[in-house]
Structure 1
């Protein structure tokens, strides 16, 4: 039976630091793109108002992505492994509750990159025959524990699927 309450497992508060650093890295590309566009604006001698608008938009986007979104992502992602299914809850305004039957899971991947290794943060990707589901921003120890728990449950399932 599927539970009515939200999944119990929350993200660790340490992932906010990783998420903010990730925002800084993305901001570098925003700044490079903005500088290129400002160069084009000055090359064609267009109005300086376009440069001001572009810089303002990039600044506002960065502030939202750096100061607000990491905390929202931290608070909005939950997951829980039940004996027969995995439950993932994501979203702020539009909440998505994914229920993945253990018997349908074909593969469990743990992904990380250079920045995520630095902060010991990983993404667990659960693949079924037709779809892929992710539990993002887990600490390395939590990601490995989740993978092991799911793999143990998969071994216990006897299915004709």
Structure 2
């Protein structure tokens, strides 16, 4: 039976540091895009208000992505492994609750990149026949434990068949 309450496992607070650093890296691309846009505005002699607007949008986007969204993502992502299904709750503005039956899981993989390895943060990806589901921003120990738990449940389901 599916629980009415939210999943109990929440992210560790240390993932906020990773998310903020990720926002800084993305912010470099915001700035490069803004500089390119201002250059184009100057090159084509478009009204200067477009340059001002692009700078304002860049600053507001970066500030939101750096100061606000990491905390909201940290609070919004939850997951829990039940005996027959995996439940993932995520979404900052639009909440999504995914229920993945364990018998449908075909593969569990762990993803990381250079920045996530630096902060020891990983993404667990659960693949079923038709879709892929992700539990982002897990610490390495939590990601490995989640993978092992799901794999153990898969073995139990397959041995019962």
Taking structure 1 as the reference length, the TM-score comes to 0.96
Cross-structure match for 2:122: 122
Deviations for 1:1-52, whole angstroms, at most 9, x for unmatched residues? Answer: 1111111100000000000000000010111111111111111122221111
- C-alpha displacement of 1:58: 0.3
| 2:15 is aligned with 1:15 | yes
Cross-structure match for 1:157: 157
| CA distance in structure 1 between the partners assigned to 2:46 and 2:4 by the alignment | 57
| CA distance in structure 2 between the partners assigned to 1:5 and 1:48 by the alignment | 52
Deviations for 1:79-99, whole angstroms, at most 9, x for unmatched residues? Answer: 000111100011233221111
Gaps of 5+ in 2: none
Cross-structure match for 2:108: 108
Deviations for 1:95-115, whole angstroms, at most 9, x for unmatched residues? Answer: 211110101000001000000
Instruction: Give me the CA root mean square deviation.
Output: 1.0
| CA distance in structure 2 between the partners assigned to 1:2 and 1:143 by the alignment | 23
- C-alpha displacement of 1:69: 0.4
| 2:95 is aligned with 1:95 | yes
| CA distance in structure 1 between the partners assigned to 2:105 and 2:120 by the alignment | 25
Cross-structure match for 1:86: 86
User: Quick check: 108-117 or 89-98, which moved more?
Assistant: 89-98
List, as ranges, runs of 4+ consecutive aligned residues in structure 1 with deviation greater than 4 Å: none
Q: The residue matched to 2:109 in structure 1 has which SS?
A: strand
Cross-structure match for 1:6: 6
Gaps of 5+ in 1: none
Cross-structure match for 1:59: 59
| CA distance in structure 1 between the partners assigned to 2:94 and 2:31 by the alignment | 30
| CA distance in structure 2 between the partners assigned to 1:55 and 1:113 by the alignment | 30
Alignment length, in residue pairs?
160
Alignment of 1:132-143 (within 5 A): 132-143=132-143
